[in-house]
Structure 1
């Protein structure tokens, strides 16, 4: 077990480059199972979730090598269609394997996926979508078994625009007979990146980024090479780091259009935002409160709710943050209160009364984004903070302490006593 020790009140300044997006890489890694051959994925960060997906693919029979930030995945010989339970429990994104396995091998068996405990994330939308195109899915004794004689195109209408279910449906449909229409599809940029990858393989997918996606099935796909899109959630976290420390931070290798909902809120708080073709710059001074409501893309991302909550604790006046995506995504609140924050939670709404300065404390990360939020709070707090359970943070932030130190932060990683 490791912890971060952070000495606060250090202004961050400088430039930081974003690596590939975890939320784009994981479904793309799953999609390599759709064909036999060697796929090459560039700009892959070292993250715990990505290592878990590597382990799953390897146990299924794939051969994986890594050279710096490039993954080479050989799916020529896949020996198993059952995904090990202990790995499924480590990561929610393991559910992405259902669609590709059904598409290529017509069967899959897995336990229910795990991941961060941020609220119920039922996979019924995944199952219903796969059933719409010909999968026979049975659930029992903690396992899901799906099989099909032949996937066939159909109409999938989601009750809610689920990112994972949209991606699973896309991957299953590319090898189905006929055409599949996905309505009320999620619109996140990572879904468009998956479309690009699938089409490089020879799939016929169009409409990603809108709420209607069409997939025309094809008989065979071929392995390909791809540079993953940059991580907009990581970028948003570093923008908030610049703002909360009253610094001047430029984030490179990021499309500003992917973060309009975030930069607009930062502007409301008084942060100066400058954007270019491939960068966003924040320059921060006095902050004022703001109201935020998380929504599916292009609304404010739930993955940046926790970092923004840390930021508004330092803003003048009162802020209100409403979480509409996950019901248990305020676990960082009790930890911020230990640092002096004035926060009251009522259901899915947090009411924050800004104070001049947080104070250092010993706190614990309960999930990935909550952990990032606590690091941000510690950067601005008076005195020294210790953040425990950093393994959660390692799931989605590559070498976070090293990147923050490159901007001037006083943060180090230590073994927990």
Structure 2
């Protein structure tokens, strides 16, 4: 939220907080440049499309934080990567989609610079159902000329929530089968009120904390429909939960059990949840698409003497350069 607030204020919007409610007034957006931010993550890339619609130009920081292939002497990707505490992850899907919709984008050492008189609808086939890339195309297509079809789109609750918010603002968005989203561009959007969904990653983190310590934690406002795969895995490793009127209660009554987890795009098991899956028995994690720091965070999240084995099927898009295979973890840091 801090990064989003900083971006909004830099481009001219006013942001106020009161009693858990955020009010944004974007009537006076005049600055297309938010090139220097106090924190590094991939969120600024999502500001490119809205700024192009408002001002025809956008400049956001290049936030590549960790480039392992550069250290290894491998060639750098043309569009670079954007990083946060999960390490280096490519934003080329975002940039490729924006270019296909008519944006001219230049990647410099410090920033992404984009220009467009008008974005136009097209068909975007994402190589991977990326949440961020899907959100970028949604933000670009709602005000673009014509119809935009997103194939292999992400279907996470956060994407559906964004669609719901955009629809309230006047957007025309249709969810189709087989990960297809169709957007008919409109002339303008308007303000609205929207209640964001609970953070399912935070809910999963507290669930793991309760099960690992044999505690009892009520996560207020958590929604079971957003955690179906995780809740199944939690029970299989020996955890338990109970859906209550004001949230979900997590606890454990017996010993933990071994379980093999295979990560996958939603509704599969997310890589961010991997480190909390097991704390007492051998664990096998098979990653459909993993990034280096996913494994790094897992490696420090298990008690001493537990084995972590990660495997990568042939279709994995980004091989991990710090694979932990049958490695003993000697301490528990989290």
Q: What TM-score results when the alignment is normalised by the length of structure 1?
A: 0.67
Aligned partner of 1:94 in structure 2 is 44
Report whether the alignment pairs 1:65 with 2:34: no
- What CA deviation, in whole Å up to 9, does each residue of 1:6-25 have, x standing for no partner? xxxxxxxxxxxxxxxxxxxx
Q: Distance in 1 between matches of 2:200 and 2:299?
A: 27
What SS class does the counterpart of residue 329 from structure 1 fall into?
Answer: helix
Q: Distance in 1 between matches of 2:324 and 2:181?
A: 33
Aligned partner of 2:206 in structure 1 is 238
Aligned partner of 2:238 in structure 1 is 270
Q: Deviation of residue 121 (structure 1)?
A: 1.0
Aligned partner of 1:139 in structure 2 is 107
- What CA deviation, in whole Å up to 9, does each residue of 1:282-321 have, x standing for no partner? 331211111112221111112211222xxx2324xx2212
> Of the candidates 238, 262, 271, which is equivalent to residue 293 of structure 1?
262
User: Which runs of structure 2 are paired with 1:237-386 in the superposition (5 Å)?
Assistant: 237-275=205-243, 279-284=247-252, 285-308=254-277, 312-315=278-281, 318-323=282-287, 324-332=289-297, 335-336=300-301, 340-344=304-308, 348=323, 351=326, 363=333, 374=334
Residues 1:208 and 1:187: Cα distance change in structure 2 (over 3 Å): farther
Q: Distance in 1 between matches of 2:172 and 2:256?
A: 47
Contact 1:321–1:349, Cα closer than 8 Å, also in 2: no
Q: Distance in 2 between matches of 1:229 and 1:208?
A: 22
Higher helix share goes to which structure?
A: 1
- What CA deviation, in whole Å up to 9, does each residue of 1:335-372 have, x standing for no partner? 457x6343355654555889xxx97x7x5xxxxxxxxx
Contact 1:187–1:211, Cα closer than 8 Å, also in 2: yes
> Of the candidates 21, 32, 36, which is equivalent to residue 85 of structure 1?
36
The number of aligned residues is 303
User: Does 1 or 2 have the higher relative contact order (CA < 8 Å, sep 6+)?
Assistant: 1
Unaligned runs of 5+ in 1: 1-49, 364-373, 375-417
What is the aligned-residue RMSD (CA, Å)?
2.5
Q: What TM-score results when the alignment is normalised by the length of structure 2?
A: 0.82
Unaligned runs of 5+ in 2: 65-82, 311-321
User: Which runs of structure 2 are paired with 1:128-207 in the superposition (5 Å)?
Assistant: 128-207=96-175
